[in-house]
Amino acid sequence: MSAVSASSTTSGSLKLDPVRALQHALYRAAKADPGRRFHALGDKVHRRDVLRRAWVTVRRNNGAPGIDATTLAEVEEYGVDRLLDEVAAELREGCWRPLPARRVFIPKPGSVEQRPLSIPSVRDRIVQAALKIVLEPVFEADMLPCSFGFRPRRGAHDALQVLVDEAWRGRHWVVETDIANCFEAIPHEKLMQSVEERVVDRSVLKLLRAMLRAGVMEDGQVRRPVSGTPQGGVISPLLANVYLHRLDRAWSTREHGVLVRYADDAVVMCASREQAEAALERLRNLLAELGLEPKAAKTRIVHLRVGGEGFDFLGFHHRWVASRPHGNRRPVAFLARWPSARAMQHARDRIRELTDRRRLLRPVKVIVEDVNAFLRGWAAYFRFGNSAHVFDQIGSYARMRIGGFLAKKHRRTRKFGWAVVAFAAQDSLGLITLHGTVVAPRPFRDWRGRPNAGGERRR
């Protein structure tokens, strides 16, 4: 497609979608003037088309009810347009007040730890989504290339590609860290100061303060802490990025190495041990200024070398390895990655859960479909790596569990079940295969296979 036709297509789509046109205009205005502070945003939050888009976002996520126990289905029965009209009126009149979020704890995949999750009511999620639609383009204009988490058109695989590129350039000393309780520890006042660098609309700031002060209900008690943008809120990832942008812009790549941050997970690629130690000290100091600190158990310096240890980041284990000799070709060392031990354990746990004896009354076909659905999602993420051997392990484990399920269902031996899956049944009862789906990463070629525009040497 030519540049002219691509431009006209984009222009046409913006005309057809007024919400996207609004976001595009806000982004361009913020990008054109980095010092601009926006005074008139509140009227855009309660625009009917913005609230409708916010509802679509909330409905797509299909979340649980908040403390008012109102479900998405009940909202649809009540009337979505009716609810949006009420929310718009409350926002317009300045009388909208959020309810405390419902606090639940969910297990972290592959860990005994539990993650606190705060679930706002459906009405409050709609308001948060509408506010995010308006604010995100303003702050996105300022975000730096080192930030990848919860941003439009950027994701985990983009961050992972930077590691491959920088390791190929010779940055073999890695600082890995995780900000301790980041979403719960961000001080409200400092967060609002970060927001006010770009937004001074009083109605919008009032909305944000109300959201932050709404608190959470746990064990029948409402707590209103003075810190935290609780995980589970629609707008929380954006607010965390706005606050951690202070870390990004204070970072010096020339002095301390290449920072790669995905929300509260961070890696710094360095050229020497001295630089890595200086980078870690710089990270600690910058986080302390923000009222945060690195998680001690997940903070360390790793030297990438053949036969050495590796590190985990974004679900993958990364390690410097040498290719196998082939003919007259000399082995080549490179940064390989495959699913981490925690990611593998999560996959096994989920497959075991889906093939548990408590589901014996369900048809085998349903069990296979459930396992396939999980494997497709899991493999779609981890296929962009050196994951062939690991995929074989998970595929074998899935076949073994399906065979065991079949044996229990028909009260036969495990050998019978495994034989049916492996030989007797056509296509292993329909269980998908992960063989041949892996895409190995390449330096300066992004995970989609396109040349990496950032392939020039960083200074």
Whether residue 180 contacts residue 283, with contact meaning beta carbons closer than 8 Å, is answered with: no
d(CA 48, CA 53): 9
Vertex 329, ends 324 and 333: CA angle to 5°?
50
Residue 161 has pLDDT above 90, yes or no: yes
**414: pLDDT strictly greater than 60:** yes
Q: Tell whether pTM > 0.95.
A: no
pLDDT of residue 18: 95
Residue 400 sits at the vertex; the CA angle it makes with 398 and 405, to the nearest 5 degrees, is 95
What does the DSSP 8-state code read for residue 108?
Answer: P
Average pLDDT over residues 315-344: 91
Q: What is the mean pLDDT of the chain?
A: 91
Q: What are phi and psi of 65, to 5 degrees?
A: -75, 160
What is residue 426's predicted lDDT score, i.e. its pLDDT? 62
Q: Which of 29-38, 179-188, 227-236, 279-288 shows the lowest per-residue confidence on average (mean pLDDT)?
A: 227-236
The pLDDT of residue 419 is: 81
Please state the rounded mean pLDDT for residues 40-46: 96
Q: How far is 164 from 59, CA to CA, in rounded Å?
A: 37
What mean pLDDT do residues 272-284 have?
97
- Which token pair is 279? 């980078």
Check if the beta carbon of residue 435 is closer than 8 Å to that of residue 392.
yes
By percentage, how much of the chain surpasses pLDDT 90? 75
Which of 293, 281, 291, 290 is CA-nearest to residue 257? 281
Least confident segment among 9-13, 150-154, 162-166, 285-289: 9-13
Residue 316: per-residue pLDDT: 97
Which of 25-34, 45-54, 328-337 is predicted with the least confidence, judged by mean pLDDT?
A: 328-337
Question: What tens digit of pLDDT does each residue of 211-262 get?
Answer: 999 999 988 888 888 888 878 899 999 999 999 999 999 999 999 999 999 9
DSSP letter (8 states) at residue 38: B
What's at 321, amino acid-wise?
V
β-partners of residue 339 are: 316
Q: Which amino acid is at 444?
A: F
pLDDT of residue 8: 47
Nearest alpha-carbon partner for 269 in 314, 311, 317, 315:
311
Q: What does DSSP assign to residue 265?
A: E
The pLDDT-based confidence of 114 (bands split at 50, 70, 90) is confident
pLDDT higher than 80, residue 263:
yes
**pLDDT computed for residue 2 by the predictor:** 44
Q: Could you tell me which of 138, 149, 132, 140 has the C-alpha nearest to residue 57?
A: 132
Residue 142 is which amino acid? D
Tell me the CA distances in angstroms from 133 to 87, 126, 214, 416, one per residue in order: 16, 11, 21, 55
Region 262-270: what's the mean pLDDT? 97
Asked if residues 186 and 24 have their Cβ atoms less than 8 Å apart, the reply is no
Q: Can you tell me the mean pLDDT for 99-108?
A: 87
Q: What's the CA gap between 268 and 276, in Å, rounded?
A: 8
Indicate the range of 102-106, 195-199, 454-458 predicted with least confidence: 454-458
DSSP characters over 146-215: TB-TT-TT--HHHHHHHHHHHHHTT--EEEEEEBTTHHHH-BHHHHHHHHHTTB--HHHHHHHHHHHHS-
pLDDT at 325 (0 to 100)? 78
Burial state string for 427-446 with b = 16 or more CB within 10 A and e = fewer than 16: ebbebbebeeebeebbeeeb
pLDDT mean over 149-175: 96
The two structure tokens encoding residue 367: 């069990």
pLDDT of residue 13 exceeding 90: no
**455: pLDDT strictly greater than 60:** no
The answer on pLDDT for 102 being more than 50 is yes
Whole-number Å distance between alpha carbons of 84 and 41: 18
φ/ψ of 152, rounded to 5, equals: -60, 135
Across residues 359-385, what is the average pLDDT?
95
Mean pLDDT of 176-205: 95
In the chain, where the domains are located: 18-301, 339-430
Closest CA to 204 of 257, 155, 136: 136
> Residue 415 carries which side chain, given as an amino acid letter?
K
Q: Is pLDDT at 436 greater than 90 in this prediction?
A: no
Least confident of 35-44, 48-57, 100-109, 328-337: 100-109
Q: Is 50 exceeded by the pLDDT of residue 7?
A: no
pLDDT score recorded for residue 231: 82
Residue 263: left (phi > 0), alpha (psi -120 to 50), or beta? left
Query: According to the 3-state scheme, what is the secondary structure of 324-384?
Result: CCECCECCCEEEEEEECHHHHHHHHHHHHHHCCHHHCCCCHHHHHHHHHHHHHHHHHHHCC
